[in-house]
Structure 1
Amino acid sequence: MANTPQSKKRARQNEARFNVNKARRSRIRTFLRKVEEAIASGDQDAAKGALREAQPELMRGVTKGVVHKNTASRKISRLSARVKAISA
């Protein structure tokens, strides 16, 4: 356990940051799951709409440091390719 006042404060800050990041990650996963479900249902309009909502959420995760930029770009790219493939 932390002993000095500085290390106690750091422990509090880390826990608060952990909770915020956890909520952000959870929110991103929820949006991604909605896209996955729309793709699975085969409804291209719903999938496009869900993807349009998920993109800013993922990129916000990048700016907040929860997700790496390349990871977010890769997920968006792969999802958009799958959404596009529904019509084919």
Structure 2
Amino acid sequence: MARTPLLDLPFDGKKLRRARVDAGLTQEDLAHLCSKTGTPVSRFQVVRAESGKFRPAPDVLGAFVAVLNCEVDDLLTPSSEVTGKSA
């Protein structure tokens, strides 16, 4: 089975955690709700994404966005922080 390519986006696990907590969800809740959207996500994936050890594939990121009712940009590091430039 072919693996889905990793995103080349500046995904920010801390922002994922903040959005999850703001939504009142546990890591297990987020994984379960993502899986209900048709994209299997495990609690382990959520833990690793929040800790910065896992960059979600596009389908997983899409499930996070759908469940958390946010925009993709809400889970990314601003480009100025990535490049080290000040705004």
- TM score, norm. by length of structure 1: 0.31
Between 1 and 2, higher relative CO (CA 8 Å, sep ≥ 6) is seen in 2
* Higher radius of gyration, 1 or 2: 1
